[in-house]
Structure 1
Amino acid sequence: MRIFYAQAHPSARSGFPHAGPPYQSGPRPHRPGSHAGAHPLLASLPRARHSPRFPPARRAAIVPGRNPAPNSARRPGRVGGAPAGGVAGPVQSALPAGGRVPTSAAPRGAGAAAPRALSMWRLSRALCVRAAKTGQLPGPCKRPAAFMSTLLIQQPQYAWLKELGLREDNEGVYNGSWGGRGEVITTYCPANNEPIARVRQASVADYEETVKKAREAWRVWADIPAPKRGEIVRQIGDALREKIQVLGSLVSLEMGKILVEGVGEVQEYVDICDYAVGLSRMIGGPVLPSERPGHALIEQWNPVGLVGIITAFNFPVAVYGWNNAIAMICGNVCLWKGAPTTSLISVAVTNASGADGTHALGPWKEVFSPQPRPWRDRIIAKVLEDNRLPGAICSLTCGGADIGTAMAKDERVNLLSFTGSTQVGKQVALMVQERFGRSLLELGGNNAIIAFEDADLSLVVPSALFAAVGTAGQRCTTARRLFLHESIHDEVVNRLTKAYAQIRVGNPWDSNVLYGPLHTKQAVSMFLGAVEEAKKEGGTVVYGGKVMDRPGNYVEPTIVTGLAHDAAIAHTETFAPILYVFKFKDEDEVFAWNNEVKQGLSSSIFTKDLGRIFRWLGPRGSDCGIVNVNIPTSGAEIGGAFGGEKHTGGGRESGSDAWKQYMRRSTCTINYSKDLPLAQGIKFQ
């Protein structure tokens, strides 16, 4: 998977015609901070302490539209105050020089004065509050445009974001309490390139504090029996169910995938929670027969400790869920760093309110309104709090290269799960291996579909369409190569071209839309570069190939024919909806072509020949981690292990026995006799 960590602020802006269904806040069963209803099996466990920065006596209730000072106003000189280059490096390399995302915007026309004046009023009022409380003025604002522009979260049609605890300014560090002393970033909606909200990232000091708290939390969590850990994961799944629609809408808003895919991604986290609950009563090793009388061999599995999880932008919820749910029932604590461009999703999934029920901005007194507000709703952290467990069991450090590099080099991180590009994954693997650590890598994929002469074309065409165009070609399992037997090549290309012409493009929230934008402007540039390179190498664009004339990062889904099977561009993973189509003659030839790329994630054939199917599944067939028959390359279920070979990294997540990667194994020999026989019949007397 290729990760684009940042995007330039667009010069052209547009409105967002539809913000999705209105969401209503349901009644809260318990007041924030209450432990009534905590699971009785865990009632005796120590309660996580409140952070001294957010004491219960200073809980806040804030009226929308009358915002207290943002975090930046309480911390002098820290608005965008990360050092130059602080977010450049192996885990975040797509930023412009200096390490910051430009935030200036073109004038919005005559109607721009009112919202800008309102933003200026809010900032000035916040500065006054800051000065009155501390007697100090904040340092110079290095990113004024980020605070003066109109954010989507300020607009009434996006009020549902507050049900996830999100506000204009959010803190991106959670370790039992909320904080963050790093750079402030603004996240954007790919469908219109409008700014959504701001998140303060973690500093290296925040990271150090969080790791210490996570290690302390592990001492509590590891002593809880696995089935009881499964009960906590079940509650997390139930909490996600309650927020599935609104959280899926946030995935669509910030990542750009269509709403059904956004909701489906949250459902995948729910599913893996259900799976993990059952697994919590099944994990363990065998009792093996010993050759020595009065002896037993036992295989003992124990948690590794702290699992670091670095996720990509394209599945900002599901991939974390795969790792989090399984790691938790195995007895591990988790430290999550999501992609900076989907920081709001990371905050919302973890908990968008303080551990004591305060808003993420901090301990503001109830000077505006004593009424509770929907942003107090929480997900993972609330489950931990209600069960009197340390919040650092599921920690969060939003950040860039400094945080990712720290995780890779930190010996206290016992396992690092990294999802991203092969290029970055190689650097991560080297850093982890240098300290003899353990890594779980889910990297790139250059996936192929093969259709033989006996294939059912009514399955081939929709499968190729979904695999190539779903999520706008931004899945790691996206089909990028389509091999067609020469006898059906022209007919399939003709059918596929007609199907592409009927793809409904538009706002990701519209229920009838099947195709949304790319995630960033950088992705659009890479798309155009790949199309031009394909033309230079002899390819013919039979459909698409251009940027759409509409707001946002929309490109035309593209079909290219006429390339050689080993063309350089066809062997390069481009995270965009480009499908390269090839002719082949026989089975041996096309099986070899499938395997000749460096990646080995997903593959699929379409045939009715039973012998061919089992040759495809056998040692001389596909060399991928996912080997399908008569279905697309994408759309894996959680019950099987997910991952690939070669440059895909070799890691396995989700189902089957992937849980073993989150544990360490010990072989134990127990002598319950009064004698001391040695193995292999050795006599040592």
Structure 2
Amino acid sequence: MTKSAVASSDAAQANHDLAQQLRDSRLKNGLRHFIGGEWVDGQAGKTFDTHSPVDNTFLAKVAEGDASDIDRAAGAAHEAFQTWREVSGAERRKILHRVADLIEKRSQEIAVLESTDTGQAIRFMKSAAARGAENFRFYADRAPAAQDGQSLPAPGFINYSIRQPIGPVGVITPWNTPFMLSTWKIAPALAAGCTVVHKPAEWSPVSATLLAEIMDEAGLPKGVHNLVHGFGESAGKSLTEHPLIKAIAFVGETTTGSHIMRQGADTLKRVHFELGGKNPVVVFDDADLDKALDAVVFMIYSLNGERCTSSSRVLIQDGIYDEFTRKIAERAANIRVGDPLDPATEIGPLVHPRHFEKVMSYFDKAKEEGATIAEGGVRVGESGNFVRPTLFTGARNDMQIAQEEIFGPVLTAIPFKDEADALALANDVKYGLAGYLWTNDVTRAHRFAHGLEAGMIWVNSENVRWLPTPFGGVKNSGIGRDGGDYSFEFYMETKNIAISLGTHKTARLGVGQAPAVGKKEAGE
């Protein structure tokens, strides 16, 4: 065994030892709600089980929230908002920086719990924990200026705008990289002065408990952050319909987003949706093909392919299609699938048996539609939710494998003739979250990016996030933008205040002689 293999084995064992300690200390007694600064059971006393995706064995009991728990949490958030909204931005900054400090201090614990709960490889969950701390620091530093507006002078008036927190908000987060995505939503809400009711995904509820614990330890006042576990059709629905909740921030599947919009209609909820994607990566024959290959492989096979911005369609110019897909297949065949707590692992198990079956179903669909499985297309092992990284070739854009979000380590390769053909193929889906373009023609890069129907586009790069930039999609991929001040536009109301300089004239009514009113003729 090589030194690197020994080191990987030792690290894996250390991670397993920590995972067992955390199971015994944190998960043994189950996961509870956090409402009004207190850890509580569900009022109905119901629980559900969460399982390890490695072998689908029992992991923990989780409190199952319902309408009564959501009502209690919303009430706590409403009460806390009356004081949290008045806390200075400077004080909020201090608290949020303390949250970031604690996330960094407990990053290994977070990473191990996240890998245990979701099946994501530990190598990626370490960076996810770091990104969670970065999210809190970024918005901590923006908290003092969150209420700043603009000076808008006009003839005879001084207009100025301010921003004020919208109120208690609901945050509903997904099961893929749940810790990082929770911080991505919760940090700007708190920086803006909002209070939060958080409903995490039932398939990966563990790290939400840890985040609540960290924020409490950092000194967040009681009721400012509340956590209610449960299912979408009960706890989630109650949250989206509750009259005290002023907005819903949701990350997840497009159909669920439609349900949330309908459920929030009666109370005129503001909504922010980050939804599904079938993102294209377009490779022209003049691109740096070695770098493009690295990016294509990384953006579909990292994080188990379970991410909204994954480039799950690769559009390749026909002259290089055969050679480029051959290289993708070689790389996919070499990817290490296995124990998510082993640092050498590149792909772990999919999060849940139901999702595993969904991903597996596309292998038969590909064959039925006439595509070729150039690599993968099979499960790995006899237990757990492991899937070989998969490449479909000989595909057309009208196939289900090219149109539907598979959300796994599955890539569909489609050839194109020229720029016009590539753009038509790239846009011919209902989604529009992200797009990736590889070419050394700078004019074409700009022209193609302008024509691509997507909220975010990277040219000659994989997804590299820069927090001040807007994050979000078009079409069925979402509503609104996160990132920088774009998040404050969602979590805050903009108010205009107009001050007269006393120079304008107001129209006067009712100051003249009242007109005579005609008298009625006798007998009328």
**TM > 0.5 fold call:** yes
1:22 and 1:160 in contact (8 A); partners too: no
Corresponding residue SS for 2:350: coil
**Counterparts in 2 of 1:122-161, with a 5 A limit?**
158-161=20-23
**Aligned-pair CA distance for 1:477:** 0.9
Which of 489, 505, 518 pairs up with 1:677? 505
Structure 1 partner of 2:203: 341
- The answer to whether the aligner puts 1:583 opposite 2:415 as a matched pair is yes
**Structure 1 stretches of 5 or more lacking a match?**
1-16, 24-151, 352-378
- Structure 2 counterparts to residues 189-228 of structure 1, below 5 A: 189-228=52-91
Asked if the contact 2:65–2:234 (Cα under 8 Å) also holds between the matched residues in 1, the reply is: no
Cα gap change, 1:241 to 1:201, in 2 (>3 Å): same
Q: Tell me the equivalent position of 1:460.
A: 292
- For residues 392-421 of structure 1, give each alpha carbon's deviation from its aligned partner in whole angstroms, at most 9, with x where no partner exists: 101000111211111111121111011111
For 1:490, the equivalent position in structure 2 comes to 322
Which residue identity does 1:575 align to in structure 2? Answer: F
SS at match of 2:319: coil
Q: Distance in 2 between matches of 1:656 and 1:465?
A: 32
Contact 1:166 1:348 in 2 (8 A): no
Corresponding residue of 2:358: 526
In the aligned structure 1, how far is the partner of 2:457 from the partner of 2:140?
Answer: 28
CA contact (8 A) 2:100 2:132 kept: yes
- 1:513-539 CA-to-partner distances (Å, cap 9, x unmatched) read 111111111122112211111111111
Paired residue secondary structure (1:247) = helix
Whether 1:268 aligns to 2:96 is no
Inter-partner Cα distance in structure 2 for 1:304 and 1:243: 32
What's the secondary structure of 1:318's corresponding residue?
helix
C-alpha distance in 2, partners of 1:527/1:228?
A: 46
For residue 306 of structure 1, the aligned residue among 168, 172, 175 is 168
Which of the two has greater helix per residue? 2
Q: What residue number does 1:172 align with?
A: 33
Alignment of 1:542-553 (within 5 A): 542-553=374-385
Work out the CA distance in 2 between the residues paired with 1:178 and 1:662: 26
Aligned equivalent of 1:636, options 430, 440, 465: 465
Q: Letter of the aligned partner of 1:175 in structure 2? A: G
- RMSD of aligned residue pairs (Cα, Å): 2.0
Q: Is residue 326 from structure 1 mapped to residue 188 from structure 2 by the alignment?
A: yes
Q: Structure 1 residue 436 and structure 2 residue 278: aligned?
A: no
Q: Is the 8 A contact 2:159 2:499 kept in 1?
A: yes
C-alpha spacing 1:592/1:656, structure 2 compared with 1 (3 Å): farther
What is the CA distance between 1:173 and its match in structure 2? 3.6
Are the aligned partners of 1:180 and 1:203 in contact in 2 as well (CA < 8 Å)?
A: no
Q: Distance in 2 between matches of 1:21 and 1:287?
A: 59
Unaligned ranges ≥5, structure 2: 1-8, 512-524
2:120 maps to 1:257: yes
* CA–CA distance in structure 2, aligned partners of residues 319 and 185 of structure 1: 23
Name 2:215's counterpart in structure 1. Answer: 380
Q: Is the 8 A contact 2:50 2:59 kept in 1?
A: yes
SS of 2:78's equivalent in the other structure is helix
Native 8 Å contact 2:19 2:113 kept in 1: no
Residues in 1 aligned to 2:307 and 2:10: alpha-carbon distance in whole angstroms? 25
Contact 1:440/1:649 (8 A) holds in 2: yes
Cα separation, 2, equivalents of 1:483 and 1:502: 22
TM-superposed deviation, 1:192: 2.0
For the 8 Å contact 2:53–2:350, the answer to whether it is kept is: yes
SS in 1 for 2:312: strand
SS of residue paired to 1:300: strand
Distance 1:393 1:329 in 2: 11
What secondary structure, in the 3-state scheme, does the structure 2 residue paired with 1:488 have? Answer: helix
State the shift of 1:675 in Å. Answer: 4.5
Distance 2:320 2:252 in 1: 36
Corresponding residue to 1:405 among 214, 227, 237: 237
Amino acid at match of 2:492: M
Q: Say if 1:542 and 1:559, in contact at 8 Å, map to a contact too.
A: yes
Are 1:231 and 2:91 counterparts? no
**CA deviation map 1:611-631 (0-9, x unaligned):** 01111232xx21111111011
Cα 1:584/1:309, change in 2 over 3 Å: same
Structure 1 residue 652 corresponds to structure 2 residue 481: yes
SS of the equivalent of 1:560 reads: strand
Query: Equivalent residues in 2 for 1:17-96 (5 A)?
Result: 20=12, 22=14
How many pairs are equivalent?
498
Could you say what secondary structure the match of 1:570 adopts? helix
Following superposition, the deviation at residue 683 of structure 1 comes to 7.4
Moved more, 647-656 or 224-233: 647-656
Post-superposition Cα deviations, 1:25-65, rounded to whole Å, max 9, x if no partner, equal xxxxxxxxxxxxxxxxxxxxxxxxxxxxxxxxxxxxxxxxx
Whether the 8 Å CA contact 1:236–1:380 is kept in 2: the answer is yes
Change (3 A) 1:491 1:640: same
1:480 is matched with 312
How far did 1:542 drift? Answer: 0.6
Amino acid at match of 1:393: V
Q: Distance in 1 between matches of 2:19 and 2:424?
A: 52
1:480 to partner: Cα distance = 1.2
Query: What CA deviation, in whole Å up to 9, does each residue of 1:70-92 have, x standing for no partner?
Result: xxxxxxxxxxxxxxxxxxxxxxx
Local SS of the residue matching 1:612: helix
Question: Matched residue of 1:392: which SS?
Answer: coil
Question: Match of 1:345, as an amino acid?
Answer: S
Instruction: Give how far 1:161 is off.
Output: 4.4
2:203 partner SS: helix
Instruction: Indicate the residue corresponding to 1:290 in structure 2.
Output: 154
Q: Say whether residues 1:563 and 2:395 are aligned partners.
A: yes
Q: Which residue identity lines up with residue 98 of structure 2 in the other structure?
A: Q
Q: TM-score, normalised by structure 2?
A: 0.91
